[in-house]
Chain A
Amino acid sequence: MSLTPEDVSRIALLSRIELSPAERETTREQLNGILGFIEQLQAVDTAGIEPMAHAVDVVQRLRPDVVTETDRRADFQAVAPETEAGLYLVPKVIE
């Protein structure tokens, strides 16, 4: 499996990472190198093997439905790039 320039553009868009045309080509080469390395997994017979998503075989613990948090907006917004009237500001979103 080898990535085309269009594939690189598509995953860069999905990842929200801008790549210059020059970066796109080096990135493509590097990603193809990594994918080539990963390719060896395809040769393994994994029929009937359950995928392992977690390192330990335990089940989800549940939290009691209790409000434990208090307002810390001022602390949190002290590190925000842009706020106004308690809101985080971003460029205009058009729905």
Chain B
Amino acid sequence: MINSSLRELSAALAARKISAVELATLFLDRIDKLNPALNAFITIDREQTLAQARAAEARVPKGTQSAGAGNTPLAGIPLAHKDIFCTRGWRTSCGSRMLENFVSPYDAHVVEKLAAAGMVTLGKLNMDEFAMGSSNETSFFGPVKNPWDTARVPGGSSGGSAAAIAARLAPAATGTDTGGSIRQPAALCGLTGLKPTYGVVSRYGMIAFASSLDQAGPMAKSAEDCALLLNAMAGFDSRDSTSIERPAEDYARDLEKPLTGLRIGLPREFFGAGMDDDVRAAVEAALAEYRKLGAITVEVSLPNSGLSVPAYYVIAPAEASSNLSRFDGVRYGYRAPEYGDLNDMYSKSRALGFGAEVKRRILIGTYVLSHGYYDAYYLKAQKIRRLIAADFQKAFESCDVIMGPTSPSVAFAFGAKSADPVQMYLSDIYTISTNLAGLPGMSLPCGFGAHGMPVGLQIIGNWFGEARMLQAAHQYQKASDWHVRMPEELK
């Protein structure tokens, strides 16, 4: 059961082979047993989970399913939320001491939508503090361990989501992606994860890191599971001004279509120096498989993609420095135990409430927006952002999707990059440009590299190209079994 797809779980529930409560219990027991070693979950509330499962029982349809994967009922299937999503009645910490005791008084739009589909919350997942990190080492609640090798990082910031699914502590999870935070941990943990086009999923109730880049998406074992979850998560929300008003679509509609004639663009810049050989080998092998499936590969160029990391490290910290100003110890969140006047209260509460990486980014963001530096840094980065976005549109003139590595290396050891922020930032070199351009991107497992660690293949689509990306990923997954593998010792 722990390896089942969402369709299989849905069928088992419908056939009454298992109840929603039994299914939730199965995963809760596994969490109790395995989570202490992995630290993927930071909040578990068995009572609330089982109450939700009992309520979901009534909503599980009986008998055989209707045709079409996209209509698969999700009622009674458990999932876990990244702790960046506000969940009413659950602690919502965002991986920070600042919100260590914050029980949200409201639900995020994504949480509402998945609850409306009848999905059952298993708990809240660990993450880099305020989603700032690529290794899950910045969490106030301690690092998440990679289930494939607990001496290695799971990636970040949605590292708890990735580890939980890889260890089969949850069939699926929500994640968020500001510069690669869904795709990079999905790659490092051997999962499938999708960051939708900016505006497809509402940001309401998702604690903001960098508002113009943040986007929520599904993380699961397969592209098909991701398509079903995205069907439930996506949709217009009047409470988010950047939510896009467009007709609902079935992201699973094209899954079974063959790839004949699909034009895959391979950006020259993604295949140069900087990518480890083991990653290159796995990615090249996957591309060969795609050609076998009828796709054709064409070389494209994203000449400004090398600037995406520095541009990102101006724009994201700038927005973050402002977004995180609300954490001031006045209305909620951490307040220092001792302080003098008002400014002292602010400065001490924020010094103690935020971790080192968050503070670094707030300071950088404050600096690049400050008087005399705004034009040189912030405005400059915004202009380069447009150049990067334009590169993609040029590339999509000659291809349908873009493919390349998700991460330049497999999961690295704890501490390997934490001393040098810039080295850490460069782990997102292939993922950041899609966030800057607002494009959808996904990662799927395409083999194993050094130390037996998973390698991820990245697919980038044009705006609203999710269905096509999912089709490409699903067809590959029908021809490969990387996505069904799991760490031996956790079976």
Complex contact flag A–B (Cβ < 8 Å): yes
Asked if A67 lies at the interface with its beta carbon under 8 angstroms from chain B, I say no
- Contact A80–B421 (Cβ < 8 Å): no
- Contact B335–A82 (Cβ < 8 Å): yes
Asked if B219 lies at the interface with its beta carbon under 8 angstroms from chain A, I say no
- Contact B438–A80 (Cβ < 8 Å): no
- Contact B363–A12 (Cβ < 8 Å): yes
Q: 1/0 contact trace for A26-65 toward B, CB 8 Å? A: 0100110111011111101010011111111010110100
Asked if B359 lies at the interface with its beta carbon under 8 angstroms from chain A, I say yes
| Contacts known (A46-B380, A52-B383); A60 close to B241, Cβ less than 8 A | yes
Q: Which residues of A contact B242 (CB under 8 A)?
A: 54-56, 58
Asked if B346 lies at the interface with its beta carbon under 8 angstroms from chain A, I say yes
Most buried by A among B197, B376, B383: B383
A55: min CB distance to chain B, Å? 3
Asked if B7 lies at the interface with its beta carbon under 8 angstroms from chain A, I say no
- Contact B366–A91 (Cβ < 8 Å): no
Q: Chain B interface secondary structure, helix, strand, loop or mixed?
A: helix
| Contacts known (A44-B384, A55-B437, A76-B105); A35 close to B364, Cβ less than 8 A | yes
Partner of B241, one of A8, A30, A37, A61: A61
Q: Which residues of A contact B332 (CB under 8 A)?
A: 76, 79-81
Asked if B66 lies at the interface with its beta carbon under 8 angstroms from chain A, I say no
Cα distance A39–B307 when bound, in Å? 11
Give the size category of B's interface with A.
35 or more
Cα distance A40–B376 when bound, in Å? 11
Q: 1/0 contact trace for B384-409 toward A, CB 8 Å? A: 11110100000000000000000000
Q: 1/0 contact trace for B216-238 toward A, CB 8 Å? A: 00000000000000000000001
- Contact B363–A88 (Cβ < 8 Å): no
A60: min CB distance to chain B, Å? 6
- Contact B330–A88 (Cβ < 8 Å): yes
Cα distance A75–B88 when bound, in Å? 11
Asked if B488 lies at the interface with its beta carbon under 8 angstroms from chain A, I say no
Q: Which residues of B contact A16 (CB under 8 A)?
A: 325, 328, 343, 346-347, 350
Asked if A11 lies at the interface with its beta carbon under 8 angstroms from chain B, I say yes
Asked if B351 lies at the interface with its beta carbon under 8 angstroms from chain A, I say yes
Nearest A-chain residue to B324, judged by Cβ: A15
Most buried by B among A40, A49, A63: A49
Q: Which residues of A contact B309 (CB under 8 A)?
A: 37
Cα distance A31–B199 when bound, in Å? 32
Q: Which residues of A contact B321 (CB under 8 A)?
A: 15
| Contacts known (A11-B366, A37-B313, A88-B331); A46 close to B342, Cβ less than 8 A | no
- Contact B422–A33 (Cβ < 8 Å): yes
Asked if A85 lies at the interface with its beta carbon under 8 angstroms from chain B, I say no
- Contact B380–A41 (Cβ < 8 Å): yes
Supplied contacts A41-B381, A54-B438, 15 more A-B pairs, CB within 8 Å: A10-B370, A15-B350, A27-B359, A33-B422, A34-B360, A38-B381, A44-B387, A46-B383, A46-B387, A55-B436, A56-B199, A61-B241, A80-B330, A80-B332, A81-B333
User: Contact residues of B with A, CB < 8 Å?
Assistant: 101-103, 105, 197-199, 212-213, 238, 241-242, 244-245, 304, 307, 309-311, 313-314, 321, 325, 328-333, 335, 339-348, 350-351, 354, 359-360, 362-364, 366-368, 370, 373, 376-377, 379-387, 389, 420-422, 425, 435-438, 463
Can you name 30 A-B pairs with beta carbons within 8 Å?
Answer: A11-B366, A11-B367, A12-B347, A14-B366, A14-B370, A15-B321, A16-B343, A17-B351, A17-B359, A18-B350, A27-B360, A27-B363, A30-B421, A31-B363, A34-B425, A35-B367, A39-B310, A40-B307, A49-B384, A51-B383, A52-B386, A53-B382, A56-B242, A58-B242, A72-B105, A75-B105, A76-B105, A88-B330, A91-B339, A91-B345
